[in-house]
Amino acid sequence: MVLLVSGRCSTGCFYCPLSLEKKGKDVLFANERRCSSDEEIIEEARMIGAEGTGITGGDPLACLDRTLHFIRLLKKEFGRRHHIHLYTSSLDVQAFCQLEEAGLDELRLHPPLERWGDLDGKELQEFITRTNMKVGLEIPALPGEEDRTERLIDFAEDAGMDFVNLNELEFSEGNWDQLQKRGLEVRDDTSGAVKGSEEAALRRLGRKRAVSMHYCSSRFKDSVQLRRRIKRRARRVARTTDIITDEGTLIKGVVEGPMDEIIHHLQEKFGVPDNMLFKDMEKKRVEVAPWVLKQIADQLPFASFLVEEYPTADRLEVEREPLRPR
């Protein structure tokens, strides 16, 4: 599960990928679901069968007490084996000790860019030698910043960090202007990845190092990580009236209009059984198993559709095919 504890952060990275809905705002999200209670977070973790959680922000250390609370909550609810890692731009060793005490398993650091070249990390270095947490760097591969990146990786190596993760830089609604201002471009028409970022990462990976190096492309993030999570959620939230696609989206038969009237009509005129119907109060529509709706749609006095949507909390609709136009 991805747990965004707050959108607040004072670091101000030009490449910050946070969406406008979250950037600088004190909001709480578990995956795509906006939450306001512990119960909602636990429910979302169960919905996707989460084996671990990545705590992110903003900067989770900008609201340290809240972050400590969620680490303890997740460990209490799912046990010690529920793996928790956390991303921060802070280098506050005192706070790291508190995170470890609360149960954090892994710390992923992305220091502010201006400190990449000359990190004075004596205290951090000492902390790394004594902590039981895994500690590593997780930074974007920035074209044009290869010297500073190299020096930061040198620091990670000397300090005995466990890993360095380089992520392909991507355009997002939150960083579009800033990346364009620096003359960066998209790699091609089919992705938001930044031209030159992958090459910059691969050059860093080409050197033999004492620290283990990983590269995560935007293709991998979207096609493997996201799809895996979506499929797990689909298996848990799909109703008897839904079809799960290979991508993990849900196909639904949808009838729009006065809900009670529609249900009465479907049951009386077509004998549609209860388990092939669902009254969707959230979207104010009646869902009917697509294979049933296709057979009867042309005889219904209501608008009906095949709708494809994500099984995520926001239930994003990706396609709508009219079966009987209004």
Residue in the block written with tokens 């504890």: 5
Residue in the block written with tokens 């999200």: 29
Residue in the block written with tokens 């009236």: 241
CB of 212 to ligand SF4, least distance (A): 23
Stretch that binds ligand SF4, among 5-13, 47-55, 68-76, 118-126 (CB under 6 A): 5-13
Q: List, in sequence order, every residue forming a beta bridge with 255; answer none if it has no partner.
A: 286, 304
Among 4, 5, 9, 68, binds ligand SF4 (CB under 6 A): 9
Pick the closer one to ligand SF4 by CB: 86 or 230. Answer: 86
CB of 33 to ligand SF4, least distance (A): 20
Residues 262 to 281: which contact ligand SF4 by CB under 6 A?
none
Q: Which of 120, 75, 78, 137 lies closest to 100, judged by CA? A: 75
Based on the shown chain and the rule CB under 6 A, indicate whether residue 322 belongs to the binding site for ligand SF4.
no
The strand pair at 250-256 and 285-288 is best described as: antiparallel
Per the structure block, which two tokens stand in for 169? 């830089």
Judge whether 213 and 204 are in contact, CB under 8 Å: yes
Binding flags for ligand SF4, 219-258, as an x/- string (CB under 6 A): ----------------------------------------
Pick the closer one to ligand SF4 by CB: 58 or 121. Answer: 58
Based on the shown chain and the rule CB under 6 A, indicate whether residue 16 belongs to the binding site for ligand SF4.
yes
Name the E strands within 119-160: 134-141
Based on the shown chain and the rule CB under 6 A, indicate whether residue 109 belongs to the binding site for ligand SF4.
no
Pick the closer one to ligand SF4 by CB: 59 or 105. Answer: 59
Phi-psi region of 271 (alpha: psi -120 to 50; beta: other; left: phi over 0): left
Based on the shown chain and the rule CB under 6 A, indicate whether residue 12 belongs to the binding site for ligand SF4.
yes
Pick the closer one to ligand SF4 by CB: 142 or 272. Answer: 142
Stretch that binds ligand SF4, among 10-18, 152-160, 221-229, 294-302 (CB under 6 A): 10-18
Alpha-carbon gap, residue 204 to 210, rounded angstroms = 13
Residues 50 to 89: which contact ligand SF4 by CB under 6 A?
57-59, 89
Q: Which of 149, 265, 271 lies closest to 213, judged by CA? A: 149
Stretch that binds ligand SF4, among 12-20, 68-76, 305-313, 318-326 (CB under 6 A): 12-20
CB of 113 to ligand SF4, least distance (A): 9
With the C-alpha atoms ordered 169, 172, 178, 183, is the resulting torsion angle positive or negative?
positive
Residue in the block written with tokens 């989770």: 60
Pick the closer one to ligand SF4 by CB: 111 or 253. Answer: 111
Q: Residues touching ligand SF4: how many (CB under 6 A)? A: 10
Binding flags for ligand SF4, 116-155, as an x/- string (CB under 6 A): ----------------------------------------
Pick the closer one to ligand SF4 by CB: 9 or 300. Answer: 9
H/E stretch holding 302 reads: none
Q: What are phi and psi of 55, to 5 degrees?
A: -90, 125
Based on the shown chain and the rule CB under 6 A, indicate whether residue 13 belongs to the binding site for ligand SF4.
yes
User: Could you give the C-alpha distances from 254 to 34, 233, 288, 303, in angstroms and in order?
Assistant: 25, 21, 6, 8
The strand pair at 212-216 and 243-244 is best described as: unpaired
Q: Which parts of this chain interact with ligand SF4 (CB under 6 A)?
A: 9, 11-13, 16, 18, 57-59, 89
